[in-house]
Amino acid sequence: MKINHTISFRLDSTIYSPYGSYEPYVKHHGPETRYPLPSRNFATGKSKKVAWFVSNCIPKSPRMQYAKELSRHIPVSLTVMTVIFLVIIHFI
């Protein structure tokens, strides 16, 4: 089973997130029917869990603060590129 979810400002993305703002997550009470959780842990044995590609290195949104806060809890490798900003999150 492959999982391919995209969060972006595009209305056709799996998770819609308007550019420059975000909505806090609201936990729904009741059974989750849209995305059932897999019974297998696909992250087991992998060291690189997430690649984050961003086209704007100086954002108005708080994504850089999010990456810095995340790095306080797990190892985060930040690499700034000319065109894209790449965040690779490593789990031990």
State pTM to two decimals.
0.34
Percent of the chain with pLDDT over 90: 0
Contact in structure between 53 and 44 (CB atoms under 8 Å): no
pLDDT at 54: 59
How many other CB atoms sit within 10 Å of the CB of residue 85?
20
What residues of the chain score a pLDDT lower than 70? Answer: 1, 19-38, 42, 46, 48-59, 74-92
How many other CB atoms sit within 10 Å of the CB of residue 83?
7
Any bridge partners for residue 8, and if so which?
16
Which tens digits make up the pLDDT trace of 21-37?
666 666 666 665 555 66
